[in-house]
Amino acid sequence: MAKSDVAVRIRDVSHQFGEPGDARFVQALQRTSLDIRRGELICLIGPSGCGKSTLLNIIGGLLAPTTGTIEVDAKPVRGPLPHDIAFVFQENALFPWCTVKENVMLGMRFQGVSRTEQEKRARDALAAVGLNDFMAHHPAQLSGGMRQRAALARALSLQTDILLMDEPFGALDEQTRIVLGEDLSVLLARAAKTIVFVTHSLGEAVFLADRVAVFSARPGMVKASIDIDEPHPRKPSFVTTEKFSDLRNKLYGLLHDEIRKSVESAAVTELNA
Protein backbone atom coordinates (compact mmCIF):
# COMPACT_ATOMS: atom_id res chain seq x y z
CA MET A 1 0.00 0.00 0.00
CA ALA A 2 1.46 3.37 -0.97
CA LYS A 3 1.97 5.77 1.89
CA SER A 4 -0.44 8.39 0.60
CA ASP A 5 -3.23 5.83 0.56
CA VAL A 6 -3.17 5.63 4.33
CA ALA A 7 -5.21 8.30 6.07
CA VAL A 8 -4.68 7.05 9.60
CA ARG A 9 -1.81 4.82 10.66
CA ILE A 10 -2.21 3.14 14.04
CA ARG A 11 0.91 1.44 15.37
CA ASP A 12 1.12 -0.70 18.50
CA VAL A 13 -1.35 1.43 20.37
CA SER A 14 -2.11 0.36 23.93
CA HIS A 15 -4.21 2.23 26.40
CA GLN A 16 -4.86 1.69 30.07
CA PHE A 17 -7.02 3.57 32.53
CA GLY A 18 -5.41 3.85 35.96
CA GLU A 19 -2.24 2.04 37.07
CA PRO A 20 -1.80 -1.75 37.39
CA GLY A 21 -2.90 -2.71 40.90
CA ASP A 22 -5.56 0.01 41.14
CA ALA A 23 -9.09 -1.18 41.82
CA ARG A 24 -10.23 0.62 38.70
CA PHE A 25 -7.33 -0.38 36.47
CA VAL A 26 -8.49 -1.30 32.98
CA GLN A 27 -6.35 -2.39 30.06
CA ALA A 28 -8.58 -1.14 27.28
CA LEU A 29 -6.36 -1.62 24.24
CA GLN A 30 -3.43 -3.94 23.67
CA ARG A 31 -0.84 -3.26 20.95
CA THR A 32 -3.36 -2.48 18.26
CA SER A 33 -2.15 -1.75 14.75
CA LEU A 34 -4.35 -0.77 11.84
CA ASP A 35 -4.05 1.21 8.63
CA ILE A 36 -7.14 3.15 7.63
CA ARG A 37 -7.20 3.77 3.90
CA ARG A 38 -8.05 7.13 2.43
CA GLY A 39 -11.71 7.32 1.46
CA GLU A 40 -12.81 4.07 3.04
CA LEU A 41 -15.56 3.59 5.59
CA ILE A 42 -14.23 1.26 8.22
CA CYS A 43 -16.44 -0.11 10.98
CA LEU A 44 -14.92 -1.05 14.32
CA ILE A 45 -16.97 -3.77 15.91
CA GLY A 46 -16.39 -5.73 19.07
CA PRO A 47 -17.74 -6.66 22.50
CA SER A 48 -18.52 -3.94 25.06
CA GLY A 49 -15.42 -2.56 26.70
CA CYS A 50 -13.02 -3.81 24.02
CA GLY A 51 -11.65 -0.31 23.55
CA LYS A 52 -13.10 0.60 20.16
CA SER A 53 -14.43 3.95 21.41
CA THR A 54 -11.14 4.50 23.21
CA LEU A 55 -9.32 3.94 19.95
CA LEU A 56 -11.62 6.44 18.23
CA ASN A 57 -10.85 9.07 20.86
CA ILE A 58 -7.14 8.35 20.49
CA ILE A 59 -7.32 8.78 16.70
CA GLY A 60 -9.14 12.09 17.23
CA GLY A 61 -6.51 13.34 19.68
CA LEU A 62 -8.96 13.55 22.57
CA LEU A 63 -7.02 10.92 24.46
CA ALA A 64 -3.27 10.22 24.45
CA PRO A 65 -2.40 6.52 24.13
CA THR A 66 -0.36 4.96 26.93
CA THR A 67 2.03 3.57 24.32
CA GLY A 68 2.18 3.47 20.53
CA THR A 69 1.73 6.07 17.83
CA ILE A 70 -1.03 7.45 15.66
CA GLU A 71 -0.37 9.28 12.43
CA VAL A 72 -2.92 11.25 10.45
CA ASP A 73 -1.67 12.07 6.96
CA ALA A 74 1.76 10.86 8.08
CA LYS A 75 1.85 13.44 10.90
CA PRO A 76 1.81 12.25 14.52
CA VAL A 77 -1.35 13.12 16.47
CA ARG A 78 -0.71 15.13 19.65
CA GLY A 79 -4.13 16.67 20.29
CA PRO A 80 -7.42 17.43 18.54
CA LEU A 81 -7.08 18.16 14.82
CA PRO A 82 -10.26 20.16 14.19
CA HIS A 83 -9.29 20.93 10.58
CA ASP A 84 -8.72 17.29 9.69
CA ILE A 85 -11.06 15.32 11.94
CA ALA A 86 -14.70 15.79 12.92
CA PHE A 87 -16.62 13.72 15.45
CA VAL A 88 -20.18 12.47 15.69
CA PHE A 89 -20.79 11.24 19.23
CA GLN A 90 -23.34 8.76 20.48
CA GLU A 91 -25.89 11.28 21.67
CA ASN A 92 -26.58 14.60 23.35
CA ALA A 93 -23.49 16.29 22.00
CA LEU A 94 -25.57 19.15 20.59
CA PHE A 95 -25.67 22.25 22.77
CA PRO A 96 -29.23 22.48 24.13
CA TRP A 97 -29.08 26.30 24.46
CA CYS A 98 -28.44 26.76 20.74
CA THR A 99 -30.82 26.20 17.86
CA VAL A 100 -29.97 23.50 15.33
CA LYS A 101 -28.47 26.05 12.96
CA GLU A 102 -26.50 27.78 15.73
CA ASN A 103 -25.16 24.38 16.76
CA VAL A 104 -23.85 23.76 13.27
CA MET A 105 -22.42 27.26 12.99
CA LEU A 106 -20.67 27.16 16.36
CA GLY A 107 -18.23 24.45 15.27
CA MET A 108 -17.20 26.58 12.30
CA ARG A 109 -16.98 29.68 14.48
CA PHE A 110 -14.45 27.87 16.69
CA GLN A 111 -12.32 27.46 13.58
CA GLY A 112 -12.63 31.08 12.48
CA VAL A 113 -14.85 30.48 9.45
CA SER A 114 -16.40 33.77 8.30
CA ARG A 115 -19.99 34.51 9.25
CA THR A 116 -21.39 34.36 5.72
CA GLU A 117 -19.52 31.15 5.02
CA GLN A 118 -20.89 29.70 8.28
CA GLU A 119 -24.44 30.52 7.16
CA LYS A 120 -23.95 28.98 3.76
CA ARG A 121 -22.29 25.79 4.93
CA ALA A 122 -24.82 25.34 7.76
CA ARG A 123 -27.70 25.59 5.27
CA ASP A 124 -26.05 23.15 2.88
CA ALA A 125 -25.19 20.63 5.58
CA LEU A 126 -28.66 20.78 7.15
CA ALA A 127 -30.27 20.42 3.73
CA ALA A 128 -28.07 17.37 3.06
CA VAL A 129 -29.39 15.63 6.17
CA GLY A 130 -32.97 16.71 5.50
CA LEU A 131 -33.33 19.21 8.33
CA ASN A 132 -34.00 22.40 6.33
CA ASP A 133 -37.27 22.94 8.14
CA PHE A 134 -35.82 22.53 11.61
CA MET A 135 -32.97 25.04 11.60
CA ALA A 136 -34.65 27.29 14.19
CA HIS A 137 -35.63 24.41 16.49
CA HIS A 138 -33.79 23.59 19.68
CA PRO A 139 -32.38 20.05 20.11
CA ALA A 140 -34.96 19.25 22.80
CA GLN A 141 -37.71 19.78 20.23
CA LEU A 142 -36.29 17.10 17.91
CA SER A 143 -36.51 13.32 17.99
CA GLY A 144 -33.38 11.30 18.75
CA GLY A 145 -32.91 10.48 15.07
CA MET A 146 -33.19 14.13 14.05
CA ARG A 147 -30.71 15.15 16.70
CA GLN A 148 -28.17 12.70 15.29
CA ARG A 149 -28.83 14.08 11.78
CA ALA A 150 -28.09 17.54 13.16
CA ALA A 151 -24.90 16.26 14.80
CA LEU A 152 -23.90 14.74 11.46
CA ALA A 153 -24.62 18.04 9.70
CA ARG A 154 -22.39 19.83 12.21
CA ALA A 155 -19.57 17.37 11.50
CA LEU A 156 -20.06 17.61 7.70
CA SER A 157 -20.05 21.42 7.76
CA LEU A 158 -16.50 21.36 9.14
CA GLN A 159 -15.39 19.89 5.80
CA THR A 160 -12.78 17.60 7.29
CA ASP A 161 -11.29 14.69 5.37
CA ILE A 162 -11.85 12.34 8.27
CA LEU A 163 -15.07 11.65 10.15
CA LEU A 164 -15.08 9.66 13.39
CA MET A 165 -18.47 8.31 14.42
CA ASP A 166 -18.85 6.80 17.87
CA GLU A 167 -21.98 4.62 17.83
CA PRO A 168 -23.92 7.53 16.37
CA PHE A 169 -27.13 5.53 16.12
CA GLY A 170 -26.56 3.48 19.27
CA ALA A 171 -29.32 5.14 21.28
CA LEU A 172 -31.94 4.97 18.51
CA ASP A 173 -34.61 2.39 17.84
CA GLU A 174 -34.08 -0.26 15.15
CA GLN A 175 -36.29 1.34 12.50
CA THR A 176 -34.75 4.79 12.85
CA ARG A 177 -31.30 3.19 12.66
CA ILE A 178 -32.13 1.49 9.38
CA VAL A 179 -33.39 4.69 7.79
CA LEU A 180 -30.45 6.74 9.05
CA GLY A 181 -28.03 4.06 7.88
CA GLU A 182 -29.50 4.14 4.38
CA ASP A 183 -29.38 7.94 4.26
CA LEU A 184 -25.83 7.93 5.57
CA SER A 185 -24.72 5.54 2.85
CA VAL A 186 -26.16 7.85 0.17
CA LEU A 187 -24.68 10.94 1.80
CA LEU A 188 -21.22 9.49 2.27
CA ALA A 189 -21.00 8.07 -1.22
CA ARG A 190 -21.02 11.71 -2.37
CA ALA A 191 -18.76 13.08 0.36
CA ALA A 192 -15.60 11.03 -0.35
CA LYS A 193 -14.45 11.08 3.25
CA THR A 194 -12.46 8.66 5.34
CA ILE A 195 -14.81 7.40 8.02
CA VAL A 196 -14.24 5.38 11.14
CA PHE A 197 -17.54 4.13 12.48
CA VAL A 198 -17.85 2.37 15.84
CA THR A 199 -20.89 0.17 16.20
CA HIS A 200 -22.37 -2.73 18.11
CA SER A 201 -24.65 -3.73 15.29
CA LEU A 202 -23.51 -6.44 12.87
CA GLY A 203 -26.13 -5.43 10.31
CA GLU A 204 -25.12 -1.77 10.49
CA ALA A 205 -21.45 -2.71 10.02
CA VAL A 206 -22.11 -4.88 6.95
CA PHE A 207 -24.52 -2.38 5.43
CA LEU A 208 -22.28 0.68 5.80
CA ALA A 209 -18.68 -0.47 5.74
CA ASP A 210 -16.10 -1.00 3.04
CA ARG A 211 -14.20 -2.93 5.66
CA VAL A 212 -15.03 -4.21 9.13
CA ALA A 213 -12.36 -4.52 11.82
CA VAL A 214 -13.36 -7.04 14.46
CA PHE A 215 -11.97 -6.44 17.95
CA SER A 216 -11.20 -9.12 20.50
CA ALA A 217 -12.53 -8.98 24.05
CA ARG A 218 -10.69 -6.74 26.51
CA PRO A 219 -7.84 -6.00 26.29
CA GLY A 220 -8.89 -5.24 22.74
CA MET A 221 -6.90 -5.67 19.57
CA VAL A 222 -7.88 -6.15 15.95
CA LYS A 223 -8.66 -9.82 15.55
CA ALA A 224 -9.73 -9.86 11.93
CA SER A 225 -10.57 -7.50 9.12
CA ILE A 226 -13.22 -8.26 6.50
CA ASP A 227 -13.76 -6.45 3.23
CA ILE A 228 -17.32 -5.70 2.20
CA ASP A 229 -17.11 -5.53 -1.56
CA GLU A 230 -20.30 -3.71 -2.51
CA PRO A 231 -20.52 -0.30 -4.20
CA HIS A 232 -21.88 2.79 -2.44
CA PRO A 233 -24.54 4.04 -2.10
CA ARG A 234 -25.90 0.74 -0.88
CA LYS A 235 -29.45 -0.07 -1.78
CA PRO A 236 -31.93 -0.97 0.95
CA SER A 237 -32.39 -4.31 -0.85
CA PHE A 238 -28.73 -5.16 -0.09
CA VAL A 239 -29.80 -6.41 3.36
CA THR A 240 -32.01 -9.08 1.80
CA THR A 241 -29.24 -10.57 -0.37
CA GLU A 242 -27.40 -13.77 0.36
CA LYS A 243 -24.12 -11.89 0.25
CA PHE A 244 -25.29 -9.68 3.11
CA SER A 245 -26.31 -12.60 5.31
CA ASP A 246 -23.11 -14.54 4.52
CA LEU A 247 -21.00 -11.57 5.59
CA ARG A 248 -23.16 -10.97 8.62
CA ASN A 249 -22.85 -14.63 9.62
CA LYS A 250 -19.10 -14.55 9.15
CA LEU A 251 -18.88 -11.51 11.44
CA TYR A 252 -21.18 -13.18 13.93
CA GLY A 253 -18.89 -16.21 14.00
CA LEU A 254 -15.84 -14.02 14.64
CA LEU A 255 -17.57 -12.01 17.32
CA HIS A 256 -19.48 -14.67 19.17
CA ASP A 257 -16.58 -16.15 21.13
CA GLU A 258 -15.26 -12.69 21.97
CA ILE A 259 -18.63 -11.59 23.29
CA ARG A 260 -18.86 -14.68 25.50
CA LYS A 261 -15.36 -14.01 26.81
CA SER A 262 -16.16 -10.40 27.57
CA VAL A 263 -19.42 -11.26 29.36
CA GLU A 264 -17.70 -13.96 31.41
CA SER A 265 -14.80 -11.73 32.42
CA ALA A 266 -17.30 -9.01 33.38
CA ALA A 267 -19.09 -11.54 35.60
CA VAL A 268 -15.79 -12.50 37.25
CA THR A 269 -14.96 -8.83 37.83
CA GLU A 270 -18.33 -8.32 39.44
CA LEU A 271 -17.82 -11.33 41.72
CA ASN A 272 -14.44 -10.04 42.80
CA ALA A 273 -15.70 -6.51 43.40
Partner 1 sequence: MSAPRKQHEKLLSRGLQFSFLLALLLVWYLATARWGVSRILLPAPATVWRELDDVLRSGEFLPHLRVTLIELASAFAIACTFGLGSGYLISRTRYAMAVFEPLLASIYSVPMILLLPLYVLFFGLGSGSKIALGATVSFFPIVLSTIAGFGSVERIFVTSARSMGASNAQMFRYVLLPAALPVVVTGLRMGFTIALLAILGSETIASFAGLGHKIAQLAEAMETARMFAYIAFAVAIVAILNIITTALERRVKLQ
In the three-class reduction of DSSP (H, G, I as helix; E, B as strand; rest coil), residue 75 is classed as strand
Identified binder of partner 1 from the candidate list 47, 51, 60, 203, rule CB under 8 A: 60
Q: Does 170 bind partner 1 (CB under 8 A)?
A: no
The enclosing H or E element of 245 equals helix 242-272
Can you tell me the distance from the alpha carbon of 20 to that of 167, in angstroms, rounded to the nearest whole number? 29
CB of 164 to partner 1, least distance (A): 8
State which residue, 86 or 254, has the beta carbon closest to partner 1: 86
Identified binder of partner 1 from the candidate list 92, 132, 143, 225, rule CB under 8 A: 92
CB of 128 to partner 1, least distance (A): 18
Q: Closest by alpha carbon to 79, among 90, 64, 92, 94?
A: 64
Bridge partners for 164 per DSSP? 87, 196
Q: Find the part of the chain contacting partner 1 (CB under 8 A) among 38-46, 77-85, 124-132, 223-231.
A: 77-85
Q: Closest by alpha carbon to 180, among 159, 158, 161, 197?
A: 197
CB of 124 to partner 1, least distance (A): 18
Identified binder of partner 1 from the candidate list 23, 97, 174, 270, rule CB under 8 A: 97
> How many CA atoms, within 13 angstroms, populate the side-chain half-sphere of residue 65?
25
C-beta of residue 131 within 8 angstroms of C-beta of residue 149 = yes
Which residues make up the interface to partner 1 (CB under 8 A)?
60, 62, 80, 82-83, 85-87, 89, 92-93, 95, 97-98, 106-107, 109-111, 154, 158
